[in-house]
Amino acid sequence: PQQGPFRGQHIVITAGPTREPIDPVRYLSNHSSGKMGYALAAQARRLGARVTLVSGPTQLAAPEGVQRVDVESAEEMLEAVQAAVTDADVFIACAAVADYRLATVAEQKIKKSADRTQLELVRNPDILATVATSDNAPLCIGFAAETQEVAHYAEDKLKRKKLAMIAANDVSDSSIGFNSDANAMTLFWHDAQGQLQQKDLPRAAKSHIAEAILRQLAQLQSHTRAS
């Protein structure tokens, strides 16, 4: 049996980009490689959890012992996450979900004609907000990619989105974050007295950052249980 602080727990993690189809051969997406989410999945497993990794399209192999569910669009990701979180203790939203999808997906390849054309986009569901505000919500961790006033936004998001922790990515340095093997972030959470706490995780391999996030989560869980 697995040992570690998450033994007996089910942790659901989203990773990678989503792909929003335009027509049968085209889509909207972003540069997320999935590396950060996969590193979290591997470390959560190593620390004893049963792990479901809901993954957008990536080049990565599923970490050993982790159950991967493959999805493409944000709507598919939401559906897979909702199915997986029914018995989850923790939900970690690491995916770079497209905020918008096409209002209508063309059934045939769109032909070029006019010099200018437009795509109509509609908002995608917010997967993290949907899970965090649902009945019997698991403990939720969100990622944030802010460039300024990080602490202010983090505190607001913790409250508004009902999150246990926010991992704020340092996006001012393009050599980390999206697609890189390294990352740097600041974690924000509220202590038992409701005070905002923060911890800087300086630049390190994503596997190391993932372990630090999960160790902080385990500590938070032990406080929550004690109070």
Q: Is 34 in the site for ligand PMT (CB under 6 A)?
A: yes
Q: Residues with catalytic annotation?
A: 30
| 24 DSSP 8-state letter | T
- Considering only residues 194 to 223 of the shown chain, the ones binding ligand PMT according to CB under 6 A are none
Residues in binding contact with ligand PMT, number by CB under 6 A: 26
**Binder among 9, 32, 52, 55 for ligand PMT (CB under 6 A):** 32
Paired sense of beta strands 67-70 and 50-55, if any: parallel
Angle, helix 35-46 to helix 206-226, in steps of 10 degrees: 50
Q: Is 169 in the site for ligand PMT (CB under 6 A)?
A: yes
CA of residue 123 relative to chain centroid, distance: 18
d(CA 43, CA 208): 9
Q: Is 74 in the site for ligand PMT (CB under 6 A)?
A: yes
Q: Closer CB to ligand PMT, residue 36 or residue 187?
A: 36
Q: Which of 7, 41, 14 shows the shortest CA–CA distance to 142?
A: 14
Query: Is 109 a known ligand-binding residue?
Result: yes
Contacts with ligand PMT, 88-127, as mask; x by CB under 6 A:
-----xxxxx-x------------------------x-xx
Phi first, then psi, for residue 215 (nearest 5°) are: -65, -40
d(CA 130, CA 2): 30
Q: Which of 134, 41, 144, 40 shows the shortest CA–CA distance to 85?
A: 134
Which one of the spans 28-36, 63-71, 108-116, 215-223 is the region binding ligand PMT (CB under 6 A)?
28-36
Query: Is 99 a known ligand-binding residue?
Result: yes
Q: Closer CB to ligand PMT, residue 2 or residue 57?
A: 57
Distant-in-sequence, close-in-space partners of 227: CB < 8 Å, separation ≥ 6: 192
Closest approach of Cβ 193 to ligand PMT, in Å? 26
Closest approach of Cβ 149 to ligand PMT, in Å? 14
Contacts with ligand PMT by CB under 6 A lie at 14, 16, 32-36, 74, 93-97, 99, 124, 126-128, 142-145, 169, 177-179
